[in-house]
Amino acid sequence: MTTLSRTELSLPSTWYYDPDHYAVELEAVWYRDWVCVGRLHEIPRAGDYFVATVGSQQLIVTRDNENQLRVFHNTCRHRGSILCTNEQGRFPNGRIICPYHTWTYSLTGALLATPARLPVDDFAENDYSLYQVNSACWGGFIFVCLDDTPGCTLESFLGSEAQIMKHWPLAEMISVQQDRKLLACNWKIFWENYSECYHCPRVHPELCKLVPLYQNGVLSYTDTPNWRPDDASDDGRPRVAPGLATWTLDGQTGLPVIPGLDEHEIRNGVNFASFTASMFVVAHPDYVRSVRVLPRGPESVELIVDWLLLPEVAETYAGEIDRMLDVGRLLIEQDGRVCEINQRGLRCVQHKHGVLVPQEYSLWEFHEWLRAKLEDRAL
């Protein structure tokens, strides 16, 4: 990635609040790409489930009796009632039962029974299985693709970003804390904020102490003029200040280093992987934080933040967990505030577009990515 060599226009302001445009983005991005909806550890046994919402679509995420992940639309094939009214739970006896007229489905989605239905010749249970949704897992994260024919496999969707995380044992790690936060802004505003560190000196003074590079308002050492690598392995990624270990308020940790990391991953103290548009992962030598992003309306986005540890570490070092949460919570607070004020200014009738400055190249790439997805849609 290189910095922009000229100013670029930001996206049209209306794209951040117009309900029709929001609907187009749901179709073009959220109902086509792979979207992270949770962790496998949330449903450890057959019949455990949780309900996930992507745009206007409600999904049941469960495991069948073979322990295979299964995702269905949360809609009964009879007359369309919601099947699960709770956010999470366990299907008794492995049966998914509609609360309206008791149509009963198996954990593989097959319609098993239609109690008290009067007989008729042309009714076949086989015709009314639950609506299935494509699903796949990576690193213990559950992804869904609402498109019947996904444009690519999950693996190719994740691409090289998954490789960045290859030394972290993500699949084994468990969430020891989950925070949810609703922000009054469009989902793109949050991604844009994540895509630049131009705001860091003003908005994140604590973070700038941990990562001195950020005081320059850039994301990478390669963005700064006249940068030269320290050695052949130095690719310019951000790193914590000398003497610091990780992202805690004082940069210190009582948690052990995760086995398998290399010396650069330990020295840098932070490593990012982005899975636009539903998640990014921030991996440290001692813990991992995932931030999931789900649009909740044209001017509303929900963030779901999980802090992950290896189970044995979570048990042995329970007293260290609070300190691990502080920086992530502070960042969400600080970023959330500026995202919301960003949103509020966009209805100005004269502000048709913003403008991007050189270090906002990653934001521009995000815009190009989105424009490509919207290319053949009527806007």
Instruction: State the residues that interact with ligand FES by CB under 6 A.
Output: 76, 78-79, 81, 98, 100-101, 103
- Return the number of the residue (165 or 282) whose C-beta is nearest Fe ion: 282
**Burial class (CB within 10 angstroms; exposed 0-12, middle 13-18, buried 19+) of 65:** exposed
Query: How far is the first Cα of the chain from the last one, in angstroms, to the nearest whole number?
Result: 29
- DSSP states along 273-311: EEETTTEEEEE-SS-EEEEEEEEEETTEEEEEEEEEE-H
Minimum distance between the CB of residue 62 and ligand FES, rounded to whole angstroms? 17
Cross-strand bridge partners of residue 72 = 60, 132
d(CA 369, CA 341): 25
Which partner in ligand FES, Fe ion, none is near 33 (CB below 5 to 8 A by kind)?
none
d(CA 365, CA 335): 20
- Return the number of the residue (100 or 227) whose C-beta is nearest ligand FES: 100
Which partner in ligand FES, Fe ion, none is near 72 (CB below 5 to 8 A by kind)?
none
Angle (CA) 292 177 140, round 5°: 55
Max Cα–Cα distance, the chain, nearest Å: 80
Cross-strand bridge partners of residue 356 = 8
Which partner in Fe ion, ligand FES, none is near 335 (CB below 5 to 8 A by kind)?
Fe ion
- Return the number of the residue (40 or 338) whose C-beta is nearest Fe ion: 338
Which partner in Fe ion, ligand FES, none is near 84 (CB below 5 to 8 A by kind)?
none
User: Is residue 265 within the footprint of Fe ion (CB under 5 A)?
Assistant: no
Minimum distance between the CB of residue 205 and Fe ion, rounded to whole angstroms? 12
d(CA 364, CA 185): 19
Q: Give residue number: closest CB to Fe ion.
A: 335
Which partner in ligand FES, Fe ion, none is near 104 (CB below 5 to 8 A by kind)?
none
- Return the number of the residue (78 or 329) whose C-beta is nearest ligand FES: 78
Minimum distance between the CB of residue 86 and ligand FES, rounded to whole angstroms? 16
- Return the number of the residue (100 or 369) whose C-beta is nearest ligand FES: 100
d(CA 228, CA 234): 9
- Within residues 116-135, the interface with Fe ion by CB under 5 A covers none
Size of the site for Fe ion (CB under 5 A): 1
- Return the number of the residue (79 or 344) whose C-beta is nearest Fe ion: 344
Of residues 223, 335, 343, 359, which one binds Fe ion by CB under 5 A? 335
Residue 100 backbone dihedrals phi, psi, to 5 degrees: -95, -65
Which partner in Fe ion, ligand FES, none is near 51 (CB below 5 to 8 A by kind)?
none
Bond into 277 cis (ω within 30): yes
Q: Are 364 and 4 in contact (CB under 8 A)?
A: yes
Which partner in Fe ion, ligand FES, none is near 22 (CB below 5 to 8 A by kind)?
none
Minimum distance between the CB of residue 94 and ligand FES, rounded to whole angstroms? 18
d(CA 312, CA 256): 11
Minimum distance between the CB of residue 99 and ligand FES, rounded to whole angstroms? 8
Among 179, 186, 181, smallest CA distance to 300 is for 186
Minimum distance between the CB of residue 38 and ligand FES, rounded to whole angstroms? 25
Q: Is 267 helix (H, G, I), strand (E, B) or coil?
A: helix
163 CB neighbour count, 10 Å cutoff:
10
Minimum distance between the CB of residue 112 and Fe ion, rounded to whole angstroms? 50
Q: What is the DSSP letter of 119?
A: P
Stretch that binds Fe ion, among 83-91, 157-165, 261-269, 334-342 (CB under 5 A): 334-342
Minimum distance between the CB of residue 332 and ligand FES, rounded to whole angstroms? 39
Which partner in Fe ion, ligand FES, none is near 78 (CB below 5 to 8 A by kind)?
ligand FES
> What's the sign of the alpha-carbon dihedral 226, 227, 230, 234?
negative
- Return the number of the residue (192 or 335) whose C-beta is nearest Fe ion: 335
Q: Are 49 and 61 in contact (CB under 8 A)?
A: yes
Minimum distance between the CB of residue 81 and ligand FES, rounded to whole angstroms? 4
d(CA 358, CA 276): 21
- Return the number of the residue (114 or 177) whose C-beta is nearest ligand FES: 114
- Which residues of this chain interact with Fe ion, rule CB under 5 A? 335
